Chains A and B, each alone.
Chain A
């Protein structure tokens, strides 16, 4: 590490701010973090703003407006490394449900003057607009994983973020499988870990907050979920949450939607 502290900027697009707050939630590590990197732009934490270019930009949120599509290009130009954080930034977020519907119909329903609304037809992950150096998954992201990613960029190494299943975290934690032992539908086998298997640890099925794992096999899981009693409508919905627009989940929900239509 050079004597100069690397600069960090945090950016918000269409999102709930929860992932940014994970950075502020690093209570024990926050002071060390502030000693190691220079927080140059982080409106949630400070009104101090240091002009770019920045060494590392963390980007939260999805691109949903023409203005944001332009703004992310400016941020990319001024950032040495750009890391997207959270399901909105990496997959389009819950607001990507619009991708399965007609946004103009929504605006006509909701707004008195829909012609004042300038919005894109889809909610896009940041990587659909600019090159991204690393995508950190989760809704919200995990604090430990965020620190690992920042650490990796500070020292110029590859982040050690596994793309393996939630099941792996369940088994390491010693949780009993909710699907096998209780018959509870669970997306864990197709979902990337990182949350520490929070929901199965509370006897709930996984909701897929970290998006599809590496080599996911959603059709095979869906076939088993059907055996557990899930109908087609439920199968459409189970894949349509925070990562509805992630490739595997989108294709799987569309597949069941087509089945429902027939």
Chain B
């Protein structure tokens, strides 16, 4: 492990830019911490923290100079790997009546993600299995994913809606990154402990941080991971998969539907939700048609449209579909839970519906071992 001063983040951004990466990471915009292009360390949310509750988020000043002293914002990295809207292919009509195809998008830039939380690394791994681990590899996703350089930041600030510990995804990253940082702010100072997770990460670390961390510095970093779980606001029952599998007719679905707006916010902020709609967009002259893929949601009626109409007509059916897929049937389909415990669906639900509370309520009635 190496140690770097906070100011070295400036150098990190520039080294990555020089290596040809588009550097993206956390920055403050519209009263929240979002992901966007970083020109240097001044773009980071220095000294800003965030409070999370059910349907509630507020930025606050921390009173220090922390670079990564926040939880997670409304954006997730999926906006780069699985963008909200992309043209998959363009179909052009030839004069002889035939047609030819052309790429829908320019080749993606190689991106470096700065500040990826361990829960977000887990979410990227989930989407990797969805898009790349199946019989058919999603080429568009693969092209964006292949070049990514991941700088993880271990979590020192679990929020009120976080439950990564109970999903086994945090607060410390155990792989899947090029570089992992732990930010330490204590009475003695402010520094980051860095470890490489890949050869590319190791090479960058050599250029960035020549000094080995001392025993005291390593201990301080370990204290960050050790103490973080105690500040986590939520937890998920360990038997969520089984509880939901046996509760498909539970009255709770209807009760929750009375509160649910079916607005789709939970699925759109979720870093693993991957539902999309695909539309053919012909031009008026009938010469070019674009096949456009954009984020969709199982909360939309059209999403379950089959011959004859949508088959999930009620909000109760849609909420049940989301929750049971996310926490239960995802295991059989992709080999893991679809939930990483980041808490975004709780924070950004406009009416504060809490996924952990829902599972707890259903589980309380159907027995089982509990959390």
Contact = CB atoms under 8 A, between A and B. Distances in A.
B166 interface: no
Q: Which 4 A-B pairs have the closest CB atoms?
A: A171-B268, A172-B84, A189-B263, A176-B30
A162 interface: yes
Interface string B84-96: 1100000000000
Contacts, number: 131
Given A162-B300, A177-B57, 5 more contacts: A167-B268, A172-B268, A176-B34, A214-B300, A221-B261
Contacts of B85: 172
A175 B265 CA distance: 12
Interface of A is mostly: helix
A36 B30 contact: no
Interface string A185-213: 01011100000000000010000000001
Contacts of A151: 282-284
Interface in B334-351: 347-348, 350-351
A216 B351 CA distance: 14
Given A32-B284, A164-B302, A168-B295, A220 B55 contact: no
B350 A163 contact: no
Interface residues of B, number: 48
Contacts of A15: none
Given A163-B302, A181-B31, A29 B261 contact: no
Nearest to A190: B261
Contacts of A217: 258-262, 315
22 contacts: A32-B283, A32-B284, A35-B285, A36-B284, A151-B284, A154-B284, A155-B282, A162-B277, A167-B265, A171-B74, A171-B268, A171-B269, A171-B295, A172-B295, A176-B32, A176-B34, A189-B265, A189-B350, A189-B351, A213-B263, A214-B300, A217-B315
Contacts of A155: 282, 286
A79 interface: no
Interface string B287-311: 0000000110101111000000000
A181 B30 contact: yes
Contacts of B259: 217, 220
Contacts of B84: 171-174
B264 interface: yes
A155 B262 CA distance: 32
B82 to A, nearest CB: 12
Contacts of A29: 284
B75 interface: yes
Interface string B25-36: 000011110100
Interface string A20-54: 00000000010011011000000000000000000
Given A164-B300, A181-B32, A224 B295 contact: no
B43 to A, nearest CB: 16
A224 B53 CA distance: 14
B357 interface: no
A190 B315 CA distance: 13
A174 B83 CA distance: 11
